[in-house]
Amino acid sequence: MWSIIKALIITFRHAFRQRVTIQYPEEKPYLAPRWRGRIILSRDPDGGERCVACYLCSAVCPVQCIALQATEDASGRRYPEFFRINFSRCIFCGECEEACPTCAIQLTPDFEMSEYERKNLVYEKEHLLISGCGKYPGYNFYRQAGLAIKGKGKGEGDQESPPVDVLSLLP
């Protein structure tokens, strides 16, 4: 009997508690910097595409939502001819980001990508490419730090830059 009354009182006291609901469209939720949301392709600090079309992201993708075609430019550098992510399949697991050797593909804290048509969820390269470096400012895959040899440390040579810890942001 007493426990029933206590239950009623406890429930009633909840009327004066803070509500946990976030009124979404008006009130945006906090997204962590490492939030795995919309996928982007980043550029290196010089403005070139980072992606070298190695197919690792496509291979590791558990739902096969990434499709790309490698090609080479005049200087023999590989880049993707097309790069397509089907977001209606993507499960935002972040495996592609972990697999990417050049830090080109990255997941961002953004989830507001609803569409009325399924077709519009297929993002092409021009939708994916952003103009900045994303999470790894200043990193360029084609810069090299070289090897430490006698009289010269890593990244101290003429055409060398200091080494980058490519694993710093991995979970």
Partner 1 sequence: MRMMIGQLSVIFGVLIAALTAAAFLIWLERRLLALWQDRYGPNRAGPFGLLQVPADMIKIFFKEDWIPPFADRQLFVAAPAIITITVLLSFAVVPFAPGIAVISPDLGLLFFLGMSSLAVYSVALAGISSNNKYSLIGALRALAQLLSYEVFMGLSLMGVVMLAGSFNLNKIVEAQRHLWFVIPQFPGFILFFIAGIAETHRLPFDLPEAESELSAGFHCEYSGMKFGMFFVGEYLSITLISAMTATFFFGGWQGPLLPPVIWFALKTFAFICLFILIRASLPRPRYDQLLAFAWKLLLPLALLNVLITAAIVLALER
**H or E element, residue 119:** none
- 3-state class (DSSP) for residue 32: coil
Within 75-104, which residues bind partner 1 (CB under 8 A)?
A: none
Burial of residue 29 (CB within 10 Å: 0-12, 13-18, 19+) is: exposed
Q: How far is the CB of 8 from partner 1 (least distance, A)?
A: 5
Site string for partner 1, 38-57 (x = CB under 8 A): --------------------
27 touches partner 1 (CB under 8 A) = no
CA distances from 80 to 42, 64, 99, 140, 159 (A): 13, 17, 16, 17, 26
Does 15 bind partner 1 (CB under 8 A)? Our answer is: yes
Which of 2, 19, 74, 112: binder of partner 1 (CB under 8 A)?
19
Confirm if 88 and 123 have CB atoms less than 8 A apart: no
11 binds partner 1 (CB under 8 A): yes
| Of 53, 60, 57, the residue nearest 39 (C-alpha) | 57
Q: Is 20 in the site for partner 1 (CB under 8 A)?
A: yes
Q: Kindly state the smallest distance separating residue 11's Cβ from partner 1, in Å.
A: 4
The residue (of 10 and 32) whose beta carbon lies closer to partner 1 is 10
Shortest approach of partner 1 to residue 105 CB, angstroms?
A: 37
Determine, following the binding rule CB under 8 A, whether residue 130 of this chain makes contact with partner 1: no
The whole-angstrom separation of Cα 28 and Cα 152 is: 51
CA dist 8 and 151 (Å) reads 79
Counting contacts by CB under 8 A, is residue 12 touching partner 1?
yes
Beta bridge partners of 83: 68
Structural contact between residues 102 and 127, judged by C-beta atoms closer than 8 angstroms: no
Q: Examine residue 131 and tell whether it contacts partner 1 (CB under 8 A).
A: no
Q: Give me the residue label for tokens 């005049």.
A: 74
Please choose, out of 1-9, 78-86, 102-110, 119-127, the segment that lies near partner 1 by the rule CB under 8 A.
Answer: 1-9
- Applying CB under 8 A, which residues contact partner 1? 4, 7-8, 10-12, 14-15, 17-21, 23
